[in-house]
A and B are shown apart, each in its own frame.
Chain A
Amino acid sequence: MRARWAWTLTVIILVGIMFSYTQDELRTTSVLSFSLRYAIPLIIAAMVGLVCERSGVINIGIEGQLLMSAFAGFFGAAATGSLIIGTLFGIGTGLIMGAVFATGAVAWKMDQIISGTIINIIATGLTSFFYAQGQVLPASTPVVAIPYLKDLPLVGPVLFNNGLFTYAAIIIVIFLQIMLFLTIWGLRTRAVGENPSAADTSGINVQRTRFINVTLAGGLAGVAGAYLSLEAAGTFERGFTAGRGFTALAIMIFGAWNPVGAFAAALFFGLTQGVASQLQADEVVDIPPQFINMLPYVLTIVLLAVVAGRVRPPAAVGKPYEKD
């Protein structure tokens, strides 16, 4: 039922894009590029939530993990003069934040929501305190055009003429889709998230699986954070993740805890934002900028209200595992 609804919407959007492309090539391309850029951090962050929740852990702290790794990525790159080292700083910080969160939410069996909130508050505090003005990146991240593919109409300039993080995000999504549903790791992860007692009985170490997955997911948050400061913005400001970590959780839910589904949901998010910005820039409609800014948040709430009850989360999510 839901699948049909989703497919119908996808087809309508694709037809709409085709039609718009025949009318105005340039604008369509620019709107779609904007949408993709908007969607990339959301996609990666949604994967963080997805890996955690498939293992049975709610990660409310994605926002803080993004913030910390964006911070480390930016200042790491600015200090060392190397974007690569900056990226590694970002990912490393993400892993550390993942391990810290896992320590609270998994090892210490704290309330997962409170653990995540602590991560967010600590990240806000530390990044505000150590924030320094006047730092700049050594260079902007390179744009890599993929030969032949980039010459395709519409898809070429939008998809195959991007920074490395964009390709990385797409690879991560496909990789996770395969890993989750076709490998032993995926089976174990899902077992731990659905029925930890049964998983434990069959010899899976529930606590260890959760701890490792949550930590690795933090590494993904590091990728998303590094993308935000190094490629998307090229700078770092206090609190500049602007709720993306939470929107990502909503995207994970729209995608029914499926990587590819979440990818589609994030693109839909990006598209609404892209279209709204374009409409405003063209002065087609007079929308105050504040309402454009509000759009992703309103959309999150509306879609959550619509989707609620139609998708099912992993059964054991949110409960610390206690051996009987």
Chain B
Amino acid sequence: MSSDGPAQTDLGFTDPNPTLGPKYGPVKAIAIPIVSVLLAFAVGGILIYFQGVNPFTAYRVLFESALGDSDGLLRVMQKSTPLIFTGLAVVVGLRVGLFNIGAQGQLTVAAIGAAWAGYHFDLPTVVHLTFALGFGMLCGAAWASIAGVLRAYRNVSEVITTIMLNSIAIALVDYLASRTFKEPDQPISRTPLISDSAALATFGVIPSGFVIALIVSLFFGWFLIRTTEGFRFNTVGLNPNAARYAGISVKRTIVLAMAVSGALAGMGGAVETMGVVGRFEPAFNAGLGFDGITIALLARANPIATIPAAILVGILRTGANSLQFETGIEPEVVDVILALTLLFVAAPIVSRYIFRINAKRKSKSKGRS
């Protein structure tokens, strides 16, 4: 039990090789998240009922406003785009045994970075798009690398540093948006609008950012499973000692993975700025990073499964506003539903009591692998 458990670090944190629970076959891997979501909706329905609204009416309003017309569909895709990226950011971290709770901060600094790159320069369209997107990714990667380097070389838990970096990012962008990058002669703290050459177009109801997100997910599905670097990521995540023994530089892999994770979250922020908001405004993208955690765990750290998970969250977030408008239910009911989904999917509630998976035996055999 002891020697092959997660490696010990100096700060009271294990290398969190996140036990996503026992391994399931493909059918259960799909069935468990679906049942978890349905259960969460059931409990959410009870909450709605006690607020004096018919839960079926409420859910119909929620889904109709999100999926009923092209306007709703566009908003769902816009909402899902940064969520796919933050979900992927958490997934990449989990693969290496890192728990990046800081996707929020990385996304925020990238959003303002892309805004600056978008309004401050005047470049040909293709160059400008690449530059703004790249600069946003760089900001996100740099922000995450603080945690990555501290984790690799000083053994500081990335869970604490990324959370702290979230709070620092909020204060920092608030400062930048209200002073350095502030739109002149405006009472609100926000940056000027980005130039047209840095704006991501929307084709019909399909925002180009959404397409980018899909391509990036597929890329990571390939990268994590089919490439040497991806193999290194997975090996370090599963067993850092074995990885070290096999000649993989664990420190280098951790720093790289954290930078990649930050760049992904950063891409989410940049795409949000360039494709949806058109500028940076503080608090415009609150909560996207935390939904990323839910999405990654719902997708069981699978990059492709991140897409449907993110779209589900996107639908809920889009429908939440109409829910308040039409039924008076607080939109925060969606937070409760998502939290319950996470609880059901990550805790062995559904798997143990509905699918009768014996977690104890499985976790023992996992310990020996």
Contact = CB atoms under 8 A, between A and B. Distances in A.
A111 B19 contact: yes
B14 A290 contact: no
B77 interface: no
Nearest to B1: A322
Interface string A293-324: 11001101100110011011111011111111
Contact of A304 (B5, B11, B179, B343): B11
A108 B347 contact: yes
B336 A294 contact: no
A314 B330 CA distance: 43
A298 B339 contact: no
Contacts of B16: 111, 113-114, 318
A253 B2 contact: no
A214 interface: no
Interface stretch (B29-37, B157-165, B252-260): B157-165
B172 to A, nearest CB: 7
Contacts of B339: 118, 121-122, 124-126
Given A110-B347, A298-B168, A317-B14, A322 B364 contact: yes
Interface residues of A, number: 58
Interface string B25-54: 000000000000000000000010000000
Interface string B147-160: 00010001111011
Contacts of A3: none
B160 A300 contact: yes
Interface centre among B99, B165, B171, B359, by most chain A C-beta atoms within 10 angstroms, is B171
A319 B175 contact: no
A117 to B, nearest CB: 6
Contacts of B336: 122, 125-126, 129
A308 B297 contact: no
B338 interface: yes
B293 interface: yes
A198 B89 CA distance: 40
A109 interface: yes
Interface range, B side: 35 or more
Contact of B6 (A60, A249, A293, A318): A318
B121 interface: no
A115 B19 CA distance: 11
Interface centre among B11, B47, B99, by most chain A C-beta atoms within 10 angstroms, is B11
Contact of B335 (A129, A250, A290): A129
Contact of B155 (A104, A250, A294, A308): A308
Contacts of B358: none
Nearest to B17: A111
A163 interface: no
A318 B21 CA distance: 15
Contacts of B179: 288
A249 B342 CA distance: 24
Interface centre among A242, A247, A301, A314, by most chain B C-beta atoms within 10 angstroms, is A301
Given A114-B346, A308-B10, 20 more contacts: A58-B13, A108-B359, A113-B18, A117-B99, A118-B343, A121-B294, A125-B336, A250-B164, A253-B12, A290-B175, A294-B168, A294-B172, A297-B164, A297-B167, A298-B164, A301-B168, A308-B154, A308-B156, A313-B8, A322-B367
7 contacts: A111-B18, A118-B346, A122-B340, A126-B339, A129-B333, A288-B179, A290-B178
